[in-house]
Structures are given as C-alpha cells and as structure tokens.
Amino acid sequence: MPVSNASHVLVTGGTGFIGSHTVLELVSQGYKVVVVDNFCNSCEEPLRRIEKLAGLKDKIPLFKLDLADRDGLRAVFREFSFSSVIHFAALKAVGESVHKPLTYYRNNIAGTLNLLDVMVDFGVTNIVFSSSATVYKANSDGKAFREDSELGCTSPYGRTKLYMENIIQDVVNAEKGWNAIMLRYFNPTGAHESGMMGEDPMQIPNNLMPYMSQVAIGKLDRLHVFGTDYNTRDGTGVRDYIHIMDLAEAHVAALKRLPANQGYEVFNIGSGSGQSVLEMIDAMSAACGHSIPYSKDPRRSGDIDTILCDPTKAADVLGFKVSRTLQQMCTDLWRWQTANPNGYVQ
Amino acid sequence: MPVSNASHVLVTGGTGFIGSHTVLELVSQGYKVVVVDNFCNSCEEPLRRIEKLAGLKDKIPLFKLDLADRDGLRAVFREFSFSSVIHFAALKAVGESVHKPLTYYRNNIAGTLNLLDVMVDFGVTNIVFSSSATVYKANSDGKAFREDSELGCTSPYGRTKLYMENIIQDVVNAEKGWNAIMLRYFNPTGAHESGMMGEDPMQIPNNLMPYMSQVAIGKLDRLHVFGTDYNTRDGTGVRDYIHIMDLAEAHVAALKRLPANQGYEVFNIGSGSGQSVLEMIDAMSAACGHSIPYSKDPRRSGDIDTILCDPTKAADVLGFKVSRTLQQMCTDLWRWQTANPNGYVQ
C-alpha cells in the first residue's frame, strides 16, 4: 500500500521530448509528478530545467527504470499514491522498427502490459496514452483524419501503438472504473519558449523539423526533401504540425477529463491545418534569418501526399485547441537550437 | 551452442489438445521432438501415451517451462539443436479473454516475443504458428473465408492471434532466411483413433464437441444450443469441423514446406464443408448410440450464422486435404470419452 497520502501523476518516459514538456506543464499547473524513464533515448537534465523553470523547491521524483522491470515498477507504486498515469515510454523510430521489430514489440507492448498489470494490482484506474496518427490507414484523398477513420499500420512501430490502444480498451472493458484517453498526435515540433527545453535527438534526427533545425545551425549539411511531385499545392508532402507546448496542454486537458468516468476515449491532437515541407523551410528560414540548404530527392516508400488532423472532437469534448502559430514553433525551435546546439548534454 | 548434433523440432504447448496429437504425428513420421509446456491447462500423461502409441524407446524430452522464462528457454535451445519450431503454447478461451485481457496478452504475446527472440539469437529460422479462423472479420454472407478475406477480431483472444501473426510477419521481413507458416484452424474435434488420446478440458468445456461429449456420457446435464433462428438450413450455427488427426497432419505438411524458403505464408486448415449444431448432435448420437439431451437457448452475442473454410490454398500449396469424415470425428471422440471419462488423470 502507498506510504504517501499525496496523489501523484506517474509519467512514464517523462524525460523524452513530449514527456518532459508535459511534465513542465503539469508541475506548472500544480500537479505532483513522478517520472520513470529508462533513459534509452534521453537524460536527466530536462527535469533539472523543469525544476528551474517552474521554480520548484523539491526535485521531481525520478526512477531510472525500464518497464520490463515489473518488480521495480511495483516498488514505485508502493512508494507513491497515483491518481493517474500518463504513458509516454516507447521507442518511436519508424524506420528502425522495420529492422528491429522484436525490440519494438518487446519494449513498447511488453512494457505496457507490465504497466497496466501493476496499475490493476494497485487500483490505479486512469491513464492517458501517447498514441499517434500513424495508426490511421493512409488515404489518398487528402481528407483530415477523424477518430473514426479507418485504421491500419504499415510499420511495426505503428502496430505497437495500435495494439496498445486496443489492449488498453480491452482492459477498460474488463476492469471496473477504468478511464483511458488515447491521444493520437500528429507532428509535434517547436520547443518551450524559454529556449531551455526542446527536442534532443541522440542520433541523426528522423523527423523533418529537428533535422531542419540541425541544418539551419550547420550541424548537418542540407535537408532532403523527399518527393516534390505529390498532389499538394507545391508538390511536397503536407503534414499537420503542432507546437510541443500545445501538445503538453492537451495532455493536461485529457488528465482533467479522466475523473468524469468516461471510460475509453480517443482524441486527435493536431492543429487542423497543414503545411508543406517547402512552407516549413520558409518558416524556419524566417526564424533563423538565413536560407536553409536543401536538395530535392525521390519519394520515400510509404509516404503519402497529405496527413491532416480533424481536431473537432478534442475541441468539443476536451475544450482543447492549439493556440500557437507556425511562426512560434519555428522561433521557439530556433531559440532552443541556438541556446543548446548539442542538446541537453553540453 | 547446441551440444547435440541431431536436429529436433521444438513444440511449445506440446501437451495440449492440438499440440499432443501433432507430436504423435511428428514422432510417428520419425521426427525428433522436444516439448516445452507450462502445464497451465494440461499434464504430462499425453506424452507417455504418445511414447506407447509410437513405440518409442526413449522418452520425449519435456521441459516444464513458461515462455515468460526467457533464460529457461535459452537453456533448452543450448541443449538441443532445432531445425524448426511449432508454436502452440497459448491460452485459448474466448470468454475468459474478455474478462482477463492482460493475462491473455501477457501469456500469448509476451511469451511469443520471448520465443522469437531466442530463435533469432540461436539462428532458428523456421516456425509454424498455431493461428485461428477467429482472426477473420465476421461476415454475414456465409461465404467461406479465404486467406485474403478481411481480418478483424472481437475478443482479446482473437487479437492475440492476429497480433502474433503480424509480429511474426515483421520478423520474417526483418531477419534473413526466416520462414513462417500461419495455420488458421477452424473447429478441431475428434480424438486419436486409438482412444488413448483426446481433448481434456480441465474445466467445463467451452467448445461444442467436448461439451456434447460430456453430456453424452452423463457428466453434464444437457447441451445448450445457442440460437435456433440463424439463417442456416436448420436455424442453428454452421461451423467447419476438422478431425484432430487431420489437423496434426496439416502441421507436418507445413513443417515439410519450410525448407522451401518461402518466407511468410498463411493457410486455412479446415474441411471446406459445414455442419450445423443439430447435425453434430445427430452424428454424435449415432456414435454413442443414444440421444443427447439439449435445450434451445437464445443466441450468444458475437456468434454468427456460418463460419466456413475455403481450404483451396492448403490443398494447392501444402498438398493437404482432410481425409476423415464427420462420423469418424464422433466415433473417435466417443471412444476417447468412454475410455477416459475423466480425461488423462484417472
């Protein structure tokens, strides 16, 4: 049984990009947070910066723990009383997942099964889960995805997210009093406006914006624009970008809904408007004050024209809307990149 | 590294209903078999009977092992050299899976992930996987399912089978030289013709035929026929039944195909013809020589009119066709039931 009476929010993967910004938003709104992370793709430093930014007197409790370690996880649940869990911890590189499927399934699914199991054992019945727009079946009509759009994944990474959604739904159906919210993110980018926190890819970035940011600062040679003959306004792929602090706020909005005992729910989290790769290059060039070199390269297999979010349900039910502009995403990203050219580890 | 030069077939769940009959068929055809089983729903006795029936001089190597125990599994792979794996080990009760989804996901999926991981480590690249017709999306047109029919599951049990198929396919795509055959069973029943081996449900049976068999011998009161207003020839549900020894032979046919380096393949294993519940009652009554009491009860939610197998692909590619009749299924089942009224444990 928990020895502490205070009710905490457990954040798994709380030192990663989305996790750390969400922890910052949580503690800024007065939540007591406990973080578990295996640091396989992150470090402790974001928590130090969160403590500084939020003016915390005490350190955020942090456990270096892999979710494979069920006994370790149980020990954390014995030490703290949790009202709810926000579950970010997962591997997330699509390409890597194709080459190492078992690593992805074991880390993402077996880890989640341990977490859910311990939650059941300790009577913790509220979870916000970090899902992804990658669970949607690619369409070629360019229509925005709604939560009830057809699902279907092309990578092991995507399948881990889809399977975890379904597993959590089965648990909600089987267990009494469980509430679960799946947040399907579109393309998170940007950084905290302080420039003290941002995305810190440990290898060469997989995603457009961190890659572009490293080109802008001269760490990488040039950006590759994969595909310039898509059926979009300028021929390059259109995606729905969302500022990381908007996304962090969406998690807190979801957390606030859980006590409504709504059962299992899914929400898209995106802006509802799309930007092409060339538009993102223009926006980032404006933010950094110089042009960003890029080459036009062939399409990558599996990519499609347009991926857009229909954000209506999140607006209606969670009261969540993005409030930050594309320009802010780029300005904040650039502030972080220039203040921390090597990420958190200087 | 393996200490034995002999090449064995590893059978997980080899003491269960389908597993044990397949082991019998394997050793009868001269294969060297090693069994791992956690005995969560079975016992050792089937192996003793297999040894007797097949006239084996040596005991079949058997390890009491849960697939959650990766170190234990590695020890088995160190002791024996495996040419291939037939993977049966799984929980299989649809209804139970709805109430205990985490138990099913952990046992079936996390266990399979361990097995696949150890296979990769030891360079064992051939697997036959025990899948199920439950992975098909229910249709109401009564058409036989083909391997390319739409998929979709309604229970956690079904999802574990579908996810494991996809996980194995991802491994085949990622690893060099892997071959995997998924066998989607329809409704296995019957028993070995000796009457020495058969299905041994440890609790009240979930499936029609073992239930009917226990009614026939007087252990259960009466059979419940759930739904008599289906759109079938007599109003009761039509399913595709297959004799357990036909099914066992299908596994050996699949095993023989693996060295053809065919990559990932899926086969339906069924008879291609359907019997209604009332027809099964008639056939079993004929086998046991007296009528079987039953009541007409309301439909169960989730059940559909007709589930039929299109067995063409298995015939064309594996050269597999069922050779045993409905009457043999019932006669053999009844022989097993009367010779072993309490199953293996007398």
What are the average pLDDT values for consecutive 10-residue runs of chain A, which has 346 residues? 66 98 98 97 96 97 97 98 97 94 97 97 97 92 93 95 98 97 97 97 90 96 96 96 98 94 95 97 98 96 91 98 98 97 87
Q: What is the pLDDT of residue B203?
A: 86
By CB atoms closer than 10 A (0-12, 13-18, 19+), residue A82 is buried
In 3-state terms, what secondary structure has residue A311? coil
B167–A100 C-beta distance less than 8 A:
no
Q: What is the pLDDT of residue A206?
A: 86
Q: What is the pLDDT of residue B128?
A: 98
Q: Does B113 contact A at CB distance below 8 Å? A: yes
Query: CA of A238: how far to CAs of A273, A278, A292, B124, in Å?
Result: 9, 9, 19, 43
Q: How far apart are CA B175 and CA B123, in angstroms?
A: 10
Distance from CA of B109 to the nearest CA of A (A): 8
Rg of chain A, C-alpha, whole Å: 19
Query: CA of A298: how far to CAs of A225, A277, B194, in Å?
Result: 8, 14, 65
Instruction: Report residues of chain B scoring pLDDT below 50.
Output: 1-4
Spatial contact of B134 and B153, defined as CB atoms under 8 Å apart = yes
Distance from CA of B301 to the nearest CA of A (A): 15
Q: What is the pLDDT of residue B196?
A: 97
Which of these, B250, B343, B333, B235, lies nearest to B287 by C-alpha position?
A: B333
Q: Which residue has the tokens 């999926």?
A: B109
**Of the partner residues B102, B156, B167, the one whose CB lies closest to the CB of residue A101:** B167
Question: Tell me: the pLDDT tens digits for B82-92?
Answer: 999 999 999 99
Q: How far apart are CA A50 and CA B192, in angstroms?
A: 67
Neighbouring C-alpha atoms within 13 Å toward the C-beta of A326: 19
The percent of chain A in helix, strand and coil, each rounded to the nearest 5, is: 40, 20, 40
Q: What angle do CA A187, B152, A172 make, to 5 degrees?
A: 70
Spatial contact of A186 and A241, defined as CB atoms under 8 Å apart = yes
By CB atoms closer than 10 A (0-12, 13-18, 19+), residue B269 is buried
Q: What is the pLDDT of residue B202?
A: 84
Spatial contact of A164 and A171, defined as CB atoms under 8 Å apart = no
Residues 6+ apart with CB under 8 A from B57: none
User: Which listed residue (A157, A185, A241, A344) is catalytic?
Assistant: A157
A100: closest chain B residue by CA: B174
Q: Which of residues 173-202 of B touch A (CB under 8 A)?
A: 173-174
Helix B17-28, helix B45-54: angle, nearest 10: 20
B109–A102 C-beta distance less than 8 A:
no
Q: Which of A163, A168, A178, A264 to mutate to test the interface with B (most CBs of B within 10 A)?
A: A163
Q: Does B21 contact A at CB distance below 8 Å? A: no
Q: How far apart are CA B23 and CA B32, in angstroms?
A: 9
Q: How far apart are CA A99 and CA A102, in angstroms?
A: 9
pTM, two decimal places: 0.95
Distance from CA of B90 to the nearest CA of A (A): 16
Q: Does B156 contact A at CB distance below 8 Å? A: yes
Catalytic residues of B: 157
B111: closest chain A residue by CA: A110
CB pairs under 8 A between A and B: 69
A164: closest chain B residue by CA: B105
Q: Does B8 contact A at CB distance below 8 Å? A: no
Q: What is the pLDDT of residue B301?
A: 84
Q: What is the pLDDT of residue A203?
A: 86
Q: What is the pLDDT of residue A46?
A: 97
Residues 6+ apart with CB under 8 A from B191: B197, B198, B199, B244, B332, B333, B335, B336, B337
A109–B109 C-beta distance less than 8 A:
yes
Distance from CA of B201 to the nearest CA of A (A): 24
Query: CA of A221: how far to CAs of A68, A210, A293, B118, B261, in Å?
Result: 38, 13, 8, 41, 43
Q: What is the pLDDT of residue B3?
A: 43
Q: Does B98 contact A at CB distance below 8 Å? A: yes
Q: What is the pLDDT of residue B260?
A: 85
Exposure string of B276-315, with b = 16+ CB inside 10 Å and e = fewer, is bbbbbbbbbeebbeeebebeeeeeeeeeebbbbbbbebbe
In 3-state terms, what secondary structure has residue A48? helix
